[in-house]
Amino acid sequence: MRVRSSSAAFMDAAESYLVRLADDLRDLQVTRGGPLLMVQVENEYGSYGEDHGYTRGLRDVLRGLFEVPLYTNDGGVDWTLAGGEVPGVLAEIDGDPRSGFAARDAYVTDPTELGPLLDGEYYTYGPDFWGSASAHNTAAGQPDRIRSLVADVEFVLAANNSVSLYMFHGGTNWAFGNGAIWKNYTAAFVTSYDYGAPLDESGRTTDLYYAFRDAVQKYVPEGSIAEPPVNIPLQEIENVTLTPMVALSDTLGEKTTSVTPLTMEELDQAYGFVLYEHTATTALRGNLQPGDRARDRVIVYVNGTKTGVIDSTYTQPAQVDLSLQPGDTLQLLVENLGRVDYWSRESGTFVALEDPYKGIVGNVTIGDHIVSGWDIYSLPLDAPPATGAATSVASGSPPVFFRGTFRVSSNSTSPAALDTFLAVPDGIKGNVWVNGFNLGRYWIVGPQQSLYLPGTIIKTDAENEIVVLELEPSRETLTASGQAERVWANYPDPDYS
Catalytically active residues are 44, 121
What is the Cα–Cα distance from 378 to 382, expressed in whole angstroms? Answer: 11
Phi and psi at residue 70, in whole multiples of 5°? -100, 155
Contact 370/364 with Cβ under 8 angstroms?
yes
Cβ-based burial of 283 (10 A; exposed 0-12, middle 13-18, buried ≥19): exposed
* Cis upstream peptide for 38 (omega within 30°): no
